């Protein structure tokens, strides 16, 4: 269990660091309900 915690924690911190470096906010996704950027769309005036 300790080993699992170590591996899981390392992975989680790595994911948090990657997400933050790319500007993603998991908390913002949870509060807005938008879990992944839908990406830009074509803009129509």
Least distance from other proteins to the Cβ atom of residue 24, Å: 5
Least distance from other proteins to the Cβ atom of residue 4, Å: 10
Least distance from other proteins to the Cβ atom of residue 32, Å: 7
What is d(CA 25, CA 32) in angstroms, rounded to the nearest whole number? 11
Whether residue 19 contacts residue 26, with contact meaning beta carbons closer than 8 Å, is answered with yes
Binding site for other proteins (CB under 8 A): 1-2, 5-6, 9, 12-13, 15-17, 19-28, 32, 37-43
């Amino acid at each position: 269990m300790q080993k699992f915690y170590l591996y899981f924690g390392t992975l989680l911190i790595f994911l948090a660091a990657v997400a933050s470096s790319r500007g993603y906010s998991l908390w913002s996704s949870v509060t807005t309900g938008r879990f992944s950027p839908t990406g830009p769309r074509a803009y129509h005036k």
